[in-house]
Every structure is written in C-alpha cells, then in structure tokens.
Amino acid sequence: MTATTDGSTGALPPRAAAASETRIDIPAAAGVQEAAVRAVQRATDFLLARQDVEGWWKGDLETNVTMDAEDLLLRQFLDIQDESTTRAAALFIRGEQRGDGTWATFHGGPGDLSATIEAYVALRLAGDEPHAPHMAKASAWVRDQGGIAAARVFTRIWLALFGWWKWEDLPELPPELLYFPKWFPLSIYNFGCWARQTIVPLTVVSAKRPVRPAPFPLDELHTDPADPNPPRPLAPVASWDGLFQRLDKVVRGYRKVAVRRLRKAALNSAARWIVERQENDGCWGGIQPPAVYSVIALYLLGYDLEHPVMREGLKSLDRYAVWREDGARMIEACQSPVWDTCLATIALADAGVPADHPKLVKAADWMLGEQIVRPGDWSVRRPGLPPGGWAFEFHNDNYPDIDDTAEVVLALRRVRHHDPDRVESAIGRGVRWNLGMQSRNGAWGAFDVDNTSPFPNRLPFCDFGEVIDPPSADVTAHVVEMLAFEGLSHDPRTRRGITWLLAEQEPEGSWFGRWGVNYIYGTGSVVPALTAAGLPARHPAIRRAVGWLERVQNEDGGWGEDLRSYQDSTRWSGRGASTASQTAWALMALLAAGEKDSKAVERGVAWLAETQREDGSWDEPQFTGTGFPWDFSINYHLYRQVFPLTALGRYVHGEPLVVKAPSPAEAEGR
C-alpha cells in the first residue's frame, strides 16, 4: 500500500498495492523450518512473560476516539470534570488526528464525519481554540461533509444534551418499547445484546430530553449557522426506509398524547431493567457505551452520584482507561481477558508448551472460575437451557457468548489439570449450553438464538452498525471445531452446522468474517473446523478455499485484508498490506487443509519469521478485529501475538492435540 500525507491508505488497486511491498527472499524449506522453530521459541517466551499473576492475559483493545470524546462529554454533562483526566484525554485525541484534520475509525482508514465532530467537540472542552490550525482544519472538513446535520444519530444525541442540536430533530425512542411482547418484531429482545443494553437507557434519555448549558457555540460545524437543523429528505414511501421514517413521525405524535401514568411506569421499568443488569463490578455488560448511557439514564431518573449504583457505575468507567507512557489516556470500548486467555492458552499449547506447564494450569484455573452458572438475557429465548457459557470480559454474567465458550473448551482440552473432574464438568456444561444455543438454520450467532429480525436495522434511530446478531460463519466454525474435538463430529447438530457452513462459502472459495477482518478471518476459521469435523482435504470446498488463499497471497509472502472489503468485496476481498494476524489465519487454514509442504505455506511462515521483532513480538498497527462490519473496528493488541504463535506452532509440531478426548459414549451422552 502507498500512504498519503494524511496517513490514510491510498487508492492503488489492491493487486498493485500488494506487489509494491518488499519481497522477502524465501530460504530453502529446511531454513524455513529452523526459522519457524526460533520464532516459536521467542514468541512463546514473550507471551508467557505477559501472563497476569492471576492467570489471565489481556491485550489493549483499541477502537477510535469517539470513546474518549464521549467520556469527556459525560463528565461535562455530570459536572465531574477534572483537569488531569481532560488533559490526558485531549493528548490522546490530538495524537490520533490525521494530516487532513480528520479522525478515522481505523488505522489507514478514511476520515469519519461523526468521529471528527466528536473529537473536535472534546478538544473544545479541553480548551483548544477553534482558530487553532488543527481545529480550523477539522471544522472546515466537517462543513465540507455536510456539517453536524449529516452526522449519525448517536453523535447528534450527544450534541442535543448541550443544546447543540434539537431533540425534536432526532428519532423518537419511547420507553414504552419495553412493553412490546417478546414475539413482536421490535421487542428489545430482537435487538443484539449490545444494542439492547444501549437502547433501554436511551429510551429514558429520549423521554427526558435533557439540555445542559453549552459552554460555547458550535456554529463553525454547521454548513449554515442560520439554519443548523435542515430537514432530512424522506425516502420513498414504498421502501422500508420510507415506511420506518413515517412510523417515526407517528411515534413523535404519540409523545404528545402519551398517558402520563403509562410513561411513568415505563420509565420505572427501564430503571429496574438497567439496575438489574448492572454487573458486580459496577459495569453494564462489560462494555463502555451501555455503561455511559445507563449512568446518564439513572441520573435523569433521580439517582444522585453518591447512590451505590451510580458510584460503582462511575468507578467502573475508569477501568476502561489505558494510561500510556506519554501521559495520554485511551478509553477501551471493552476488555477481552477471557477471549485473550483462551487464545493464548491454545497458542502456547500448540507451540509445544507442556500441557501441565504451571502457567497453562494457572490459566485453566482462572478460566474455570469465570464460567457463568446463572441465566442471563439469552434465557429469554432458551428458558429451559441450563447455563454454562463464558463471557468475553471480566464481568458480564448477563451475556456469555457462544464464541468464547467454544474457544475456552478448546483451550481447556489442551491443559492437563490437577482436577480433571472439575474440568470435565465445566466442559460438559459449556458444550451443552453451546448446543442449546443453535439457531433454527443450524448455525450459531454470538450471543442469542435466532436474532435475525430485519426490522431493528430499519429504525431511523439505528443508523450506525449492526443492531442484530444473526448466525455467522466464524462463530459457527468455532463451535463446529469444538464439537469435533469433543467427539461429536457425527452428531446431527454438528452436521447441520457443517451443512450451513458449506452453503455459506463464497463463489471464489472464501467465507465472510463477521467478527474479524474479513474473508481471511472467515476462511481461517472455517477450514480448520471442517477438517477437524472429518471433511477430507480433497473436498471441493476445501480445495476452493486453498485456491482462493493462494491467489490472494501478497508478493511479500504474507496475507492482509483492508476493512474496505466490508463495503467492496469485489475489490478488497483478501487484499491489503500483510499483517501478522491475517497471515496466521491464512496459514492455519492451509495447514488444516494439508498444505504444509506448499510454497504458499513456506512463504507465509518465512514472512512471519522475518517480520518478528527481537523480543518475540510482531508489530501490527492495522485493525483486524470487527465490532460492526466497517462501522466499528478493533485492534486487539494480543492478536498479533497469539495467532502467529498458533500458526507457527502448528507448522512446527503438527495439528493440535487434546489432553483427553471424550469417548464416543461420553460424547453421545451429552
């Protein structure tokens, strides 16, 4: 890729871009094997040294500056600013600004209007003057893109809190929404859990419409300050968007005639719903955005800042802060200790670390203690299913997820624990829960069953990212792989998952990656699952996947994929600058397909070995994780360590082994 002066990725055709990378001289196969062994040892030492004393691993989870901007806006709204936090947040936000004055939502991406507006306002709160060169450049770009009026709904909600936007010009979200029955298309349980946790408190904010005195005007962010709230054009009435826009007008009219007692009851129900879902550490769902909106909602309902719920909620927000050596303060959208720990355990075991190594046993102990044994929101759709999943975060008992549960089981199978009965019981609960969370089509989503209603995404309010949780190829693949390791390859439920995966393969041979970027992630997840479940390497689906991976390999020997593949798969599928994590995903697929001795694998392994740092780590500024395809991207700082180690370990030692595979009778008994 070429880089423009503002740091964004240029528009070279992907194939030409890949060809422009420096080519590595590929050594002979024996030399590659030796280089891989050395790389495995260095990466193993690096990862072992970074385990917490309690047994977990956690890398920074980097997203974009809207997290930091909204943290400052929350503090301004609650009047709890402090100079040191503001200064540190502003230092981070300024450091993320690009040369053209904008802020992007991922490394090398284009400027994003809403992110730029929120970052600009945050810097104004920190004292940056609008005539300062970096601020003037940002505001000029915002005006050129349509100003505040063109920003997404969530940005305009934040501005409405201070009177910088009119509440009347925002979509209505009534708290009576909580009373919709579970079968209704717009029930809160038809939203994905991350959206549900955000929407419920926002119904309170929408009903209350608070306005705090603005500390300054924002005329410079409007295309026409005399007409700051221009009406948005209506979509054709015959379209879904047009229908829901007109439905929003009806809901606005309802606000004027809403029965006071019903509105009060709905607000009280929202408060109970929010409080009941606060986690033991004070957070909500282990995610920063729902925590922010929950704090605001409860504050508007009369909870003072010293109330235990509020006090613990505010305290939990500080745990998302990462303080850097230069004094900057970055806010994580959430934290990933369970996910990082199970992936690190798999990587180390596959790299040859003994199954009874004290650090692996310590990791297993910690993961066993994190299993969730009480019902959560998932039980609305599966009321009779016993709990047994794992969540992504430190504290998120309401929302265990199917992906983490599958990977934790795969990790536990690689550890020789001193209490095997405890491990077997935990694995049994996890397998039973995952099987019970299978959707009707035979596949698995991340958090819920059959969360596929098309209507929530149509709401005018939901103009940013996915708000539903349909089954995906990557999650389904991880479950199928886990079931295969548990001796359930021939179980009818596993076979249904395999059938779904085969039907989801793209014509050119890849699979779409919902939770990682993108087709390389999907393919790197599915191929190992299919082969673990018994599909031979000669199966046509496996051969198509191998052919695709060979075609998109970069000239330098690695693999990479730009996030733009979510918007333009024809141009960007499997195309982008080589990264450590994406190269590892491709290698994991090729190795599972029996391609260890192929030139593609040899070149990929050589690239990983050549690009490894002396301390055993890899550098990866690119964002290869996905929150919402295209709209919200993630740089998991541990991905660059765990996945290359897994791939190199499997190259050196062969396919992963389990400590104790269940007998067919044991597996069938679940």
The encoded tokens of residue 87 equal: 């200064």
Q: Which residue bears the tokens 């596949």? A: 443
H/E stretch holding 321:
strand 321-323
| CA end-to-end distance (rounded Å), the chain | 50
Residue 334 one-letter amino acid: C
**List of residues 6+ apart from 104 with CB closer than 8 A:** 8, 64, 98, 110, 111, 112, 115
Nearest to 150 by CA among 111, 189, 95, 109: 111
Distances (CA, A) of 48 to 193, 520, 565, 606, 628: 34, 27, 34, 23, 31
**List of residues 6+ apart from 549 with CB closer than 8 A:** 509, 520, 523, 559, 574, 586, 589, 590, 600
204-235: b (≥16 Cβ within 10 Å) or e: bbbbbeeeeeeeeebebbbbeeeebeeeeeee
3-state secondary structure of 152: coil
Q: Which residue bears the tokens 């919402």? A: 628
H/E stretch holding 4:
none
Catalytic positions are: 403
| Cα 413-648-358 angle, rounded to 5 deg | 40
**List of residues 6+ apart from 512 with CB closer than 8 A:** 472, 473, 504, 506, 518, 519, 522
* Alpha helix segments (H runs only) across 437-517: 473-485, 492-504
Q: Which residue bears the tokens 């054009």? A: 233
Residue 58 one-letter amino acid: K
3-state secondary structure of 318: helix
3-state secondary structure of 43: helix
d(Cα 71, Cα 316) in Å, to the nearest integer? 12
Distances (CA, A) of 169 to 11, 220, 252: 36, 19, 10
3-state secondary structure of 634: strand
**List of residues 6+ apart from 402 with CB closer than 8 A:** 389, 434, 437, 444, 445, 446, 447, 475, 479
d(Cα 440, Cα 479) in Å, to the nearest integer? 15
Q: What are phi and psi of 415, to 5 degrees?
A: -115, 135
